[in-house]
């Protein structure tokens, strides 16, 4: 175990509880919003722009994740951390935007047919499943990286990074596949 006298590490148990709580609460809140019988209309029509913004944020997060991998392979930990922070911030903004959109707008049905429809639903379902479980390892990886607990960080990143990258990339692909069917 790495030793440190920093207050962050002394309160690691509290941080772990917060990470676990957030990792459970957010997917549950998203699930509730997706299945709400009626949507919040107070937001107005501007929310229909959010899926397009979300695709841009997911694209940028994917790029930041790929660059972070390049930088860590080159042992440039400063740029690696900057790219991971960028991906983390983009992910947080995306999540807020996603919640706002799905609390205000009805879901769009995919209109494709044939084999492409099966591909769409495979990507969508795996995207949703991995997105639901991704937050826990992502938060731990970010916390361990931020607190310079490199061994723990590397152990968690083995799982967190590929899941996060998959979720980011498939989010963009799913958006591109469903975008022609948006009616607004």
Q: Is residue 1 part of a domain?
A: no
* pLDDT tens per residue across span 123-145: 999 999 999 999 999 999 999 99
Q: Is residue 36 part of a domain?
A: yes
* pLDDT tens per residue across span 4-58: 445 556 788 898 999 999 999 988 888 887 777 666 767 778 889 999 999 999 9
Q: Is residue 127 part of a domain?
A: yes
Please report, for the domain that includes residue 66, its CATH number. Answer: 1.20.120
pTM, two decimal places: 0.86
Instruction: Report the alpha-carbon distance of residue 160 to residue 156 in Å, rounded.
Output: 6
What is the residue range of 152's domain? 7-181
Asked if 111 and 181 touch (Cβ cutoff 8 Å), the reply is yes
Helix axes 77-104, 12-34, angle to 10 degrees: 40
């Amino acid at each position: 175990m790495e030793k440190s006298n920093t207050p962050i590490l002394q309160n690691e148990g509290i941080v772990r509880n917060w990470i676990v709580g957030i990792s459970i609460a957010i997917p549950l809140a998203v699930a509730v919003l997706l299945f709400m019988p009626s949507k919040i209309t107070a937001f107005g029509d501007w929310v229909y722009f959010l899926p397009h913004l979300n695709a841009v944020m997911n694209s940028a997060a994917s790029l930041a994740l790929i660059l972070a991998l390049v930088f860590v392979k080159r042992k440039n930990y400063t740029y690696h951390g900057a790219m991971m922070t960028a991906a983390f911030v983009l992910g947080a903004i995306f999540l807020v935007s996603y919640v706002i959109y799905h609390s205000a707008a009805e879901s769009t049905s995919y209109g494709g047919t044939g084999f492409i429809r099966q591909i769409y639903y495979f990507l969508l379902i795996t995207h949703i499943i991995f997105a639901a479980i991704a937050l826990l390892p992502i938060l731990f990886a970010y916390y361990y990286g931020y607190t310079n607990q490199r061994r723990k960080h590397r152990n968690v990143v083995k799982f967190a990074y590929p899941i996060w990258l998959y979720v980011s990339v498939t989010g963009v692909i799913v958006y591109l596949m469903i975008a022609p069917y948006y009616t607004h």
